[in-house]
A and B are shown apart, each in its own frame.
Chain A
Amino acid sequence: MTPEEETAQQAAAEFRDTFQRLRAEISKFIVGQEALIHDVLTAAICGGHVLLEGVPGLGKTSLVHSLAQALDLNFRRIQFTPDLLPADIVGTQVLLEKNGQRSLEFQPGPVFCNVLLADEINRATPKTQSALLETMQELTVTVAGISHHLPPPFIVLATQNPIEHDGTYPLPEAQLDRFFFKLGIPVPTAEQWLTILDRTTTGTPPQLQAVATGADLLRLRQTARAVPAAREIQSWLVQTILATHPDAPEAPALVKKYVRHGASPRGAQALLGAARVRALLDGRTHVSREDVRGAALPALRHRLILSFEGEADGVQTDDLLRELWAL
C-alpha cells in the first residue's frame, strides 16, 4: 500500500470516527431521530443547508443547537415573522460618530455565524426570504455595494410548520433549490417519549460537549469530496434524475402526469455529495448505487414541483421518488 493510500485510509477512518462521535454527542440530547441526525450531519459535512419540516415541539431548535454545540460553532437563531426585514438578517449600515466624525458602518446581522437557525422561515415575506439567497449560495452578504464574507463553515437550518398555512409565504422554488436536504421530523415513538420526559423533566438536562470543530468539519468535507464515483454510477444518477423531468423521453408515465418540473443540477450535486458521505460511512472508498438511492429522498423531495394533477390527487413527491428510484 502506498503512503497516499495509507493516508487516504486514515482519513476515511477519521471521517467515520468523527461522524460517529458527532452523532453520538447530538444523540445525547436528541432522542431517537437517528436518521435525521445522520442527514443533518451529512448536509453539514457537504456544506449544504437543511430545511427542516415538522410540527412544533419535535426538537428542531434543539437539534440545531446541539449540532452547533457538538461542533463548537457559533450559533444564531432568527425567528422569522412577517415584519422581519432583510436588514434584520444580513445587517445594515448605521451612522456612528467617532472622534467627532460621523460615518456609516456596517453592522453585521445574525447571519454572521456558523450555524444559523431560520425558525419558521415561511412566515417571513418573500423579500426577507430572498435576503438569504446570496448568503446560502455565495456565503457572502452584500450591503451598500460591499460584499462581506461569512466565516466558514456556514450552515443554515431552516424550519417550517407543515400544518399551519395562515400568514405564511411558501418558499419560492429558487430558494427551495438552495437547500441541500429537506428533512421531515417524525413524531417520536412512545418509548422515545418516555426517554424525552426522563431527560428533560428530571435532574439536570444533558450538557453537550464539543467533539469536533469547524476546522474538523471542513476537513471532513475535503475527505468526502475526494471519494471517486465511477462514470457508470454518475451516468446512472444523471439518467435517473433526468427521468424526473416530464419532458424527458425516459420519464415514466407517473412523472409525466404528476410532475411539472424535475430536479435541477443542484439536486444531482447534492445527491452525489451525500452519496460520497454515505460511502465513507459504509467503509468504502467509492460511491455505489445504493449510496445514491439512500440520499435520493432528502436531496430531491423538495426539488420536484408537482403539476396541478399531482396537487389535486394529493401525490407526495416521496412516493414518486420511491417509484422512480425503486426504493
Chain B
Amino acid sequence: MPMPTTRDFLHHLLLRLRRRVWWRETARGLLLAGALLCLLAPFYLLRGHAVPLWLGALVLLAGAAFALWQCRRRRPTLADAAMVADRHFGLKDTLASAHAFEVTQISGAFAALTIRQADLWVSGREEAASERLPGESWARVWLPTLVVLAAAVLVFVPGPAPEVRRLQEQQAQVREQTAALNTALKEEIEALAEQLPEDQTGLTRAELAEWLKELQRTPDLREAMRQYARLEQHLKSAADRLSQHDKQALLRESGLALEKDPRHRPLSQHLQHSAYQQAAAELRKMDPAGLDLAAPAEARQQLDALRSAAKRMAEPAKRAPKPGAGQSKGRATDAPRQDNLTQSLVNLDSATRRLDDALRQAPTKDQESLQSGQSQPQSGRDQPPGQPDDPQGAQQGAGQAMSDLERQLRQLERDQQLGRQLQQLRQALSQSQSGLGKNQERETPAQALARMLGQDGGRGQGQAGAGKGGREWGTGTAESRRLGRDPLPGTDKTLELRGRPGEGTSDRAIESSDSGVGFSSRMGEEQQRRYRQQAESFLRRDDIPAEVRDGVKTYFETIQQPVEPAPPAPDPAPAPAPPPAREQKPGRV
C-alpha cells in the first residue's frame, strides 16, 4: 500500500470539511427558515387565519437558498483543510506551509525540508485523517435547529377562525361563481357577436370583445359586483344607442294614419306594434315592379293601394320638424336617422305619385302616337328615366323608394331585436348576480343567468305576469319606453301613451288610463319596478341587521299580496283599495 502524501491527506480532510460545512449550513438554513416562519406566523394567527402552507414552502426555499449560498461562500479549500489540521494536531502551520510551498513551488532547501517533514508526519499518522475534527458537535448545530423547526411545525396546527373560514369559503364561492358566470356571459356575448352583421352600427364586435376582456375571475365580492355593474352599464348604453325611439314613433304615427284605410290594417298593425319585418313584407306585396305598364288603367288601380299607403305614411313624416329644428343637443346624432326614414317615406310618396301621374298620362301618349302614324315610335323610350311622364322610370323610382324603405324597416327590426337581446342579457345579469357570495344550493348565478336567458327570458322584458290580471308584476325590469299605443294583452283594448314625440326624449313615460273602479289588466310597472329595485338593493346589503331586512321583506311581501277583486255589485259600491303602487298616483303610473 503506497504511503499517503500530504496532498492525499489534505484531500481526504477537505471532503470531510465540505461535508461538515454542508450539514452545518443546512442546519442554519433550516434554522433560518423556522425562525422566519415563527416570526411571520403571528401575522396570520393573530388575524384568525391559518398559516398558509405556501408560506412554509417559501421560507423553506429561502432557507435552502441561504444554505446554498453559505455553502458556496464557506466552501473550504485545501489551504483551509491544512490550517484546520495544523490547528487540530498542533503542527504549527507545517501542513499549511508544505501545501503552500508545493502550490506556489517555492524552491529552497528549507521549503523542501518542510514538505518532507509534513509527509513524514502524515505517513506516521494514517488514522489522523479519520480522527474527529474539532467543532463537529452535532448537538450544538442541530439542537437549536430542531427546536425551532418543531415550533415552526406547530404554527400550522391552528386552523382559521370561524369568521375567517366563512370569509374564505365565500371568497372561494365567489371565485367559482364568477368563473362560471363569466363563462356563461362570454358564451352569450360571443353568440351575440356572431349574430352581429358586418354593417351593424351602434354596436361592434370589437366593443363586445372589450367587454369580455373586463370580465375577470375574482374572489372579491365587491370587485365582482363592480365588474358586473360595469358590464350592465355597457349593455345599457349599447341598448340605448340601438334604440331609435324617434323612428319608432314616426312609424307608429304612420301606422295610425294607415289604420283609417281598411286595406292597410295589417300594415298599420305591424307598424304600430313595431313588427317592422312583417311591415316590410306587407309593403313588398304592393311592389310597383309588378305593375303592367302596358295596361295603365289596371296598373293605376293596382297602384292605388300603394299610392294611398305611401301618402298616409308620409303624412306624419311631412309634419315632423326638419332635422336640427327643435332637437336637443343630446339627440343631434339621431337626426340623420330620422331624416333618412322621413326622407324614405316622403320619397315613396312622391315616387308613387310620379308613377301614378305617369300612368295617367300614358294613354294620351298612345293615342298621340297612333295619330302621328307611327312617326315617332321610340319617342317614349328616348326620354330619360325618372321623368314624371316616363312610366318605366317612375316605376323604377317607386321601386327604389320602396326598397329603401324596406331596408330601413329591416335595419330597424334588427336594431330592435339586438337591443332586446342586450336588455335581456342585462336583466338576466342583474338578477343572477344577486346570488353571488351566497350558498346557492339550488341555483348558482351562472345557472340563474342561463335560466333567465333561456326559459324565463320573457319575464325580463317587464311583461305582465301571465294570467294574473295585473295583480303581480314581472320579475324583470323594462328600460324600453313606449310611445303611442300598446295592445293590452288578453283584451281588445289598447293603452295609449301620450307624449310629444319628436321633441327629444323624456326620462319618464306617462301612461294614462281611464279612472274608475276595478282592476286594470295592466300592472303598474314603473312604480313597482322602482320599489322592487330598492327592496332588492336593500335586502342584498350585508351591513343591515337580518331582522331589519326581514321586516322590510315582510312589508313588501305584504303589499304585493294580490287583492281579490270585489264581487260585482248591482249598485255602485265603494271601490276596493287599489294596489299600493297605484295608490301613489291614481289613474297614472
Chain A residues within CB distance 8 Å of chain B: 1-2, 4-5, 7-9, 12, 226-233, 282, 284-291
* With known contacts A230-B96, A230-B100, A4–B109 Cβ distance under 8 A: yes
Contact A230 B97 (CB under 8 A): yes
Contact A230 B109 (CB under 8 A): no
B116 interface hit (Cβ, 8 Å):
yes
Distance A233 CA – B94 CA, assembled complex (angstroms)? 11
Contact B117 A285 (CB under 8 A): yes
Interface flags for B405-417 (1: CB within 8 Å of A; 0: not) read 0000000000000
Contact A286 B97 (CB under 8 A): yes
Contact A230 B110 (CB under 8 A): no
Contact A230 B112 (CB under 8 A): no
Contact B97 A233 (CB under 8 A): yes
Residue of A nearest to B113 (CB): A285
The 9 closest A-B pairs by CB, nearest first: A8-B109, A230-B100, A288-B93, A286-B97, A285-B110, A288-B92, A230-B97, A286-B114, A285-B113
- How far is the CB of B123 from the nearest CB of chain A, in Å? 15
- How far is the CB of A213 from the nearest CB of chain B, in Å? 24
Interface bracket on B? 20 to 34
Distance A284 CA – B117 CA, assembled complex (angstroms)? 9
Q: Which of B93, B94, B106 has the most CB of A within 10 A?
A: B93
Contact B101 A230 (CB under 8 A): yes
- Beyond known contacts A228-B97, A233-B100: 9 more, CB 8 A cutoff: A2-B112, A9-B109, A228-B101, A230-B106, A232-B79, A232-B96, A233-B96, A285-B111, A286-B114
Contact A286 B94 (CB under 8 A): yes
Q: Which residues of A have CB within 8 Å of B86?
A: 288
Q: Which residues of B have CB within 8 Å of A226?
A: 108-110
B104 interface hit (Cβ, 8 Å):
yes
Interface flags for B83-110 (1: CB within 8 Å of A; 0: not) read 1001000001110111111001010111
One of B98, B100, B112, B117 near A4 (C-beta < 8 A): B112
Distance A289 CA – B100 CA, assembled complex (angstroms)? 14
Q: Which of B98, B99, B114, B116 has the most CB of A within 10 A?
A: B114
* With known contacts A4-B109, A7-B109, A8-B109, A228–B96 Cβ distance under 8 A: no
Distance A321 CA – B392 CA, assembled complex (angstroms)? 125
Residue of B nearest to A284 (CB): B92
Interface flags for B48-91 (1: CB within 8 Å of A; 0: not) read 00000000000000000000000000000001000100100000
Residue of A nearest to B117 (CB): A285
Contact B97 A287 (CB under 8 A): yes
Please list 22 pairs of residues, one from A and one from B, whose beta carbons are closer than 8 Å in the complex, sorted by A's number. A2-B112, A5-B116, A8-B109, A8-B112, A9-B109, A9-B113, A12-B113, A228-B97, A228-B106, A230-B101, A233-B100, A282-B92, A284-B92, A284-B94, A285-B117, A286-B93, A286-B101, A288-B86, A288-B94, A289-B92, A290-B92, A291-B92
One of B93, B116, B117 near A230 (C-beta < 8 A): B93
- How far is the CB of B261 from the nearest CB of chain A, in Å? 108
Contact B111 A286 (CB under 8 A): yes
Q: Which of A226, A286, A291 has the most CB of B within 10 A?
A: A286
Q: Which residues of B have CB within 8 Å of A289?
A: 92-93
Residue of A nearest to B118 (CB): A286
Q: Which residues of A have CB within 8 Å of B112?
A: 2, 4-5, 8
Chain B residues within CB distance 8 Å of chain A: 79, 83, 86, 92-94, 96-101, 104, 106, 108-114, 116-117
Distance A5 CA – B56 CA, assembled complex (angstroms)? 63
Contact B109 A5 (CB under 8 A): yes
- How far is the CB of A176 from the nearest CB of chain B, in Å? 30
Q: Which residues of A have CB within 8 Å of B116?
A: 1, 5
- How far is the CB of A20 from the nearest CB of chain B, in Å? 20
Residue of A nearest to B99 (CB): A230
Distance A4 CA – B160 CA, assembled complex (angstroms)? 81
Contact B96 A8 (CB under 8 A): no
Residue of B nearest to A276 (CB): B110
Q: Which residues of B have CB within 8 Å of A2?
A: 109, 112
Q: Which residues of A have CB within 8 Å of B113?
A: 5, 8-9, 12, 285
Distance A150 CA – B241 CA, assembled complex (angstroms)? 115
- How far is the CB of A208 from the nearest CB of chain B, in Å? 32
Distance A123 CA – B96 CA, assembled complex (angstroms)? 48
- How far is the CB of A240 from the nearest CB of chain B, in Å? 15
Q: Which residues of A have CB within 8 Å of B108?
A: 8, 226, 228
Q: Which residues of A have CB within 8 Å of B93?
A: 230, 233, 286-290
Distance A1 CA – B79 CA, assembled complex (angstroms)? 26
Q: Which residues of A have CB within 8 Å of B101?
A: 228, 230, 286
Residue of A nearest to B87 (CB): A289
Q: Which of B86, B104, B109 has the most CB of A within 10 A?
A: B109
- How far is the CB of B76 from the nearest CB of chain A, in Å? 13
* With known contacts A1-B116, A232-B79, A282-B92, A288–B97 Cβ distance under 8 A: yes
Contact A228 B111 (CB under 8 A): yes
- How far is the CB of B138 from the nearest CB of chain A, in Å? 27
- How far is the CB of B183 from the nearest CB of chain A, in Å? 63
- How far is the CB of B334 from the nearest CB of chain A, in Å? 80
Contact A228 B114 (CB under 8 A): yes
- How far is the CB of A134 from the nearest CB of chain B, in Å? 33
